[in-house]
Structure 1
Amino acid sequence: MRIDVLSLFPSMFTGVLGESILKKAQEKEAVVFNVVNFRDYADNKHQTVDDYPYGGGAGMVLKPQPIFDAVADLKTHSDNARVILLCPQGERYTQKKAEELAKEEHLIFICGHYEGYDERIREHVVTDEISIGDYVLTGGELGAMVVIDSVVRLLPDVLGNKTSALHDSHSTGLLEHPQYTRPADFRGIKVPDILLSGDHKKIDEWRERESLKRTFMRRPDMLKMLELNDKQRKWIEEFKKEGGLKKGESLL
């Protein structure tokens, strides 16, 4: 995958792209990053990329020319690049969207600043508008970093364990089940016996139930988007009856 980023502050990406999984992904040649200052594409001697909005109003608006030309230049690397605008007006970002973007070969991110973008950028350059939440940031850089991280970790062979991403929260439509590691007894707080049993069929069922329980308790809105089977619906009825459970107490 090739990922290009258009930003007025490219140095913001230096640490993020050079550490952890994103660094390993580059070492494995799963992804190539290219961060560009789109001020370099401005066609005026002062390299201005913004101007006052027509009709008046607060703040400055990004001009179309630098971004049009920058995207056109980057698109020479492929004919089918997805051009993503980070914007609080965009669709709310989800794991499903990350999985969709991870199938692409070329992504171009546009990180804006100031009051907004000239509308012609949205209409004639962008293929996707993404918001990482219902709040406003100073610029699109942090949002782009979030999306890039969530996409790159899904690329083949990037994560050490191929099954890691399959069971992440939101990948299955549910929140992930509780996880434990050694020691089995930490200061009197014990790991559930079922996880020490070696019975993988019962362990899988425990994890499925705990995952459903955690989603029911913390994000019941997610259940509205799932088609539950009879077993899961029975469990939910049990969860409702067990509404007084203390934090961390298992239903099994």
Structure 2
Amino acid sequence: MTVITPDKTALDLDRINPQLNNANASDIIAWAAQTFGDGLVMSSSFGIQAAVMLHLVTQVKPDIPVIWVDTGYLPPETYQFADELQQRLNLNLQIYQSPLSPARMEALYGKLWEQEDVAALNRYDAIRKVEPMQRALRELGATAWLAGLRANQTQHRSNLRPLERQGEYYKVFPILDWSSKDVYDYLTANDLPYHPYFDLGYTTVGDWHSSRPVTADDDHERDTRFRGLKQECGLHLPASDGESQSLNSSSL
């Protein structure tokens, strides 16, 4: 698929998205690589199904910078999983962390994840995730960011299109329309590993203190994150007044 986009600083999203809607994931990635060149990066949390996007993207652009925001609170298995994938896929891994250490943050603000308060969780995410990610995008000279969001994960994500604009960056979502079965089929067809927490009943995993296995009482897989108080960590939300509302799962 070819989309003519001579001016990548002012792309016509309404014109391009209908074409991307009819493209497969690999074609969307190839279009993004051609359009944004060295300005294209991707992010990975090395979660349950991270191998899918990492494999898809590196088949098209092997040297793409892979941004990993290490919060300092990830389970040991996540670090081991990331190391396995880095070696297997020869990832150009770019690791970013908050300048505020976990110990210092806890001394200043307490254990924010235990406060049963959305504002406290938002502060945690701003410190440990959003600031490092924004710094990574600046330092790597990014103009566009590939991410593995899927429409069936949250209400916010269900409203996304394959190409969006978030602040000064374009966001590209190659597997936006994939189902859980699509993800599983790709993993098995390419003999890719999934996070070891999958075998413990996790459908999504982030920090050790804010993730748990899915239960029969959960209506949605994202109910297992952030103590059930919200569905998004802020990385994929616009910096606007609506962000705080979108962060709160009660408004979703």
TM-score by length of 1: 0.30
Larger Rg, first or second structure (1 or 2): 1
Higher helix share: 2
The higher-RCO structure (CA 8 Å, 6+ apart) is: 2
TM-score in terms of structure 2 length = 0.30
Please identify which structure carries the higher strand content.
1
